[in-house]
Structure 1
Amino acid sequence: MSFRFALQEYIDDPLKHPDTVLYHTEDAVIIKDKFPKSIRHYLVLPRGRSISFEHPLEVFELHPELYIEMEEYIARAKRLIVESLQEHKLVEFTDQLSEQEFINTFIQVGVHSIPSMNNLHVHVMTRDFHLERLKNKKHYNSFTSSFFVEWKKLNPDNFASGSESDGDSDDGPTNGLERDEKKLALTIKNTPLVCTYCGKNFKNQLKLLKEHLAREFENKFNVKRNVNDRPNP
């Protein structure tokens, strides 16, 4: 089977993959990303055959009910991330407000404008990007530039009036999200490397960015040990 269909096996038979599948129902599966770019990087996979191969920038406008359904699983994926970080003593919250602030500011949810996998999937991940396997600018910018479309921007309620349409077509989705592959490739190439913690601009200096992210990670989580050995434990 082509790599682009690698997620299909988790959709078809989640019970067969207990080390990867975190949660499943007949409607969706939550799995650990096999190639995580942060210390916690999960994927939410809708299981419906009628929507599994639709484009993520179109599917929620075409199927508004799916967006509502996926909200439940995204919330669960966030909860699983928090529980895992607590279990491994990377975070500790004094109250519910501080926990919610962490979720709101340090867990991101969204999709790639050009997915690398054929099955529809939503990324739910921490924003540390503190892993050795993050090896190039494309890896980083595919999650930190406009190439990565935030979940809230996919809400079909945003486009109910069609106000975002460019008016060029009467057919298909009208959400105004960029689909031109050449423009999106330039977005990844030309967007400078910016720290997700403090906003410092490292231009094209990935080595310096990664050193900086390591220090930011240590400060935020108060750890000095190497976390690269066990991402998505």
Structure 2
Amino acid sequence: MSCTKFSQKIQKIIGSDSLNKIKEQNKSAILNTCYSIDIIKNSSLYVTNKVKKIILINAPNMNPERPNQLSEDEALKGLKQLYNNLFKEFEKNVKNNKFMNLFKIPKENTNLNDNSKEKASVKTSWSDGLLLYIRHPEHFKDSIYKIYDKFMVIYDKYPKAKYHLLIIPKEEIKSIYYLNKSHLPLIKDMIELSKEVINDLNKKNGEIEFQIGFHAIPSMNQVHMHVISRDFISPFLKTKKHWNTFTSEFFLKPSFIIEQLNNNGCIKLDRQYYENILKQPLKCCKCGQDLKNMPTLKAHLTTHI
């Protein structure tokens, strides 16, 4: 889409008056800052979607095809500042308490017996986020792909590719390091379920290349298998760590997990070895080309589409 056509489309949605406000604001915009813009009441965005304000951001230039591209360190520093300002601007604009209640964690059900309370209590730690899906699926209907007898398949909250789902057992198992030989059927069932999910996605979206596996050092509690497309096109893929998490030995194949359980009865890994993998230089997982930073890598990935 040309810039002219893009501008015309934006103007049609938000209205020419709102667009002029944005252009005027941009003239004096400071890098890594955010500004609220009132949407004109007769615009399509206001009438159809009830959007009254938008937040204009002035982001650092990370595009290698544009002049004055920032280095990765400079860009990351700028993004941190930008996100901080964005949340402040958002908080300043949100005054509806009912809306803010959406962000509150549900309280424990006090009508349950002691044993049930322990299982149903909602922990506040972000690392326990996957447990909330198992214990309170009713709160996450839009994030759930499908629920099965023994498993739940959800959309990753911060997908690192166009298609990124998680297969989660309903049985609470903290991580792969809590698996033993008795869990071999569980892992095999997850593999079979991943084939079903991939087949369904391919039927709906055409032939897509996927990979499945586990992280060597999981960031979230509760065993989960990633089902992720190998395009790695996503705004949430931002850092070298993100990239190496899915494109190196750090991403453990299910066959490796099965082998470990068969041979050792548990998962035994050298944590330092896998932490070092995350620090490896960026390399394209498709052609092996070395890339200097994430913007360059992301631009390069488009050549493989």
Alignment match, 2:192 = 72
Deviation at 1:150, TM superposition (A): 1.4
Whichever structure has more helix as a proportion of its residues is 2
Unaligned runs of 5+ in 1: 92-98, 166-171, 218-233
Alignment match, 1:210 = 298
Distance 1:75 1:57, change over 3 A: farther
Contact 1:5/1:118 (<8 A) preserved? yes
SS in 1 for 2:228: strand
Task: Say yes or no: does 1:186 pair with 2:276.
Answer: yes
Task: Say yes or no: does 1:198 pair with 2:259.
Answer: no
How far apart in 2 are the matches of 1:154 and 1:35?
25
SS in 1 for 2:252: strand
Q: Which amino acid aligns with 1:12?
A: R
Map 1:8-27 onto structure 2 (within 5 A): 8-27=131-150
Aligned residues: 182
Unaligned runs of 5+ in 2: 1-123
How far apart in 2 are the matches of 1:125 and 1:7?
17
How far apart in 2 are the matches of 1:74 and 1:33?
14
SS in 1 for 2:278: helix
SS in 2 for 1:114: coil
Alignment match, 2:229 = 126
SS in 1 for 2:141: coil
Contact 1:46/1:120 (<8 A) preserved? yes
Alignment match, 1:38 = 161
How far apart in 2 are the matches of 1:23 and 1:37?
20
Deviation at 1:146, TM superposition (A): 0.9
Contact 2:180/2:261 (<8 A) preserved? no
Alignment match, 1:155 = 258
Distance 1:179 1:62, change over 3 A: farther
Q: Which protein has greater RCO, CA pairs closer than 8 Å, 6+ apart?
A: 1
Question: What root-mean-square deviation, in Å, do the aligned CA atoms of Structure 1 and Structure 2 show?
Answer: 2.2
Q: What TM-score, normalized to structure 2?
A: 0.55
Q: Which amino acid aligns with 1:27?
A: K
How far apart in 2 are the matches of 1:6 and 1:193?
29
Alignment match, 1:230 = none
Q: Which amino acid aligns with 1:208?
A: T
SS in 1 for 2:191: helix
Contact 2:211/2:229 (<8 A) preserved? yes
For residues 17-72 of structure 1, what are the alpha-carbon distances to aligned partners after superposition, in whole Å with 9 as ceiling and x for unaligned? 221111112311000000000000000000013xx21x315526452121222223
For residues 150-182 of structure 1, what are the alpha-carbon distances to aligned partners after superposition, in whole Å with 9 as ceiling and x for unaligned? 1222224x763x3xx6xxxxxx62x6x5332x3
Contact 1:44/1:77 (<8 A) preserved? no
How far apart in 2 are the matches of 1:39 and 1:70?
21
Task: Say yes or no: does 1:145 pair with 2:234.
Answer: no
Q: Percent identity?
A: 30
Task: Say yes or no: does 1:111 pair with 2:201.
Answer: no
Deviation at 1:124, TM superposition (A): 0.3
How far apart in 2 are the matches of 1:159 and 1:10?
27
Contact 1:31/1:43 (<8 A) preserved? yes
Q: What TM-score, normalized to structure 1?
A: 0.70
How far apart in 1 are the matches of 2:227 and 2:275?
23
Deviation at 1:78, TM superposition (A): 1.3
Contact 1:60/1:66 (<8 A) preserved? no
Q: Which amino acid aligns with 2:304?
A: E
Distance 1:143 1:61, change over 3 A: farther
